[in-house]
Structure 1
Amino acid sequence: MSALDPAAMVPHLMQLGTVLNRSRLVERAAEQVGIPVDRPGLTVLITLRMAGQPLRVGEIAARMQVVGPHVTRHLHELERADLVRRVTDPDDQRARLVELTEKGAGAAGRYLGAVLGWFAEAVADWSEEDRETFGRLLGRFVEDLQAHLVRE
């Protein structure tokens, strides 16, 4: 088995980006499940859903890799749509946390179900071993690349 040629990965990564953008995967899934928010707002919902607990604005921003004011702008829209609410942090009464409302949790769950369904269909013919290997290596690649870029 030969060593990985990073240059050979570039066309595949570019093609993946193109597929995700041209297919309008995010927008199609949001439309399919009836979520009336833009992509950044949707990312806030998914971040909260994946966290499984209320988060501070700074924590949401860190997980999204953006600055706090960016998140705050989208929170106003999400609050107006009754998808999130701010609650008092039980560990610090001065601080506020953001949590999904029932409507927001349902919307995020339906969205993830749609996207994950498409992903599952794309690898349905793969062996279980191939799916496990792909998932493990993709996660490792993203984490290692992110860690490397943070160090630079």
Structure 2
Amino acid sequence: MSRQLPDDFHVDYELARLVRHVRARSLAHLSRIHERLDYNTFVVFIAVCDAPEGVRASDLAESLRVHKSTISRAVTAMEQMELVHRVADPEDGRAQLLTPRPEAREQLERFRRESHDWLVTLMKDWTPTELSGFARQLGRLNDAMEDHPF
């Protein structure tokens, strides 16, 4: 159900609706990764999984733009759930990198495949031109957001 808004608010409104839908779907299925996983920890877990060589907690805080204490709580929770572990940073033996446990990475990949399948179902009647245009525009918006952080 879409509300009538002035044109200059339409994009913002639709993006907010999209984020709400994606977040709600994620929340409904997080238990497939771990029964105690909450959404905020899930976001941090994704960032760990997306760092191929591992990532420092301080770098997570900076990239996710959250306080170090938020990352600390998420890391503690992920370690307790056995989703991540710490390894020595090969570039700085005093530092530690967070890496996902192989089974946890597999669970996230399964979650992502299921999410992809859900999106494919939602967009089954979109033409290839519509899909590629939508992807291109989303990429353009994401690039602009990275270049102009709030």
- Range class of TM-score, shorter chain: 0.7 to 0.9
TM-score between both structures, scaled by the size of structure 1: 0.82
Q: Which residue of 2 aligns with 1:84?
A: 84
Alpha-carbon distance in 1 for matches of 2:76, 2:96: 14
Q: Which residue of 1 aligns with 2:4?
A: none
Aligned residue identity for 2:109? G
Q: Deviations over 1:66-85 (max 9, x none)?
A: 12221111111110111100
Q: Shift in Å at residue 48 of structure 1?
A: 1.9
Q: Which residue of 2 aligns with 1:93?
A: 93
Matched residue SS, 2:11: helix
Structure 2 counterparts to residues 1-152 of structure 1, below 5 A: 5-20=7-22, 24-31=24-31, 33-36=32-35, 37-150=37-150
Structure 2 gap ranges (5+): 1-6
Alpha-carbon distance in 1 for matches of 2:118, 2:138: 17
What percent of counterpart residues are identical? 22
Contact 2:88 2:96 in 1 (8 A): yes
Aligned residue identity for 1:35? H
State the structure with bigger RCO (CA 8 A, min sep 6), 1 or 2: 1
* Superposition CA RMSD, Å: 2.0
Q: Shift in Å at residue 114 of structure 1?
A: 2.1
Structure 1 gap ranges (5+): none
Moved over 6 A (4+): none
TM-score between both structures, scaled by the size of structure 2: 0.82
Alpha-carbon distance in 1 for matches of 2:10, 2:41: 34
Q: Deviations over 1:6-49 (max 9, x none)?
A: 3332332343244345xx21112213x24221111111221122
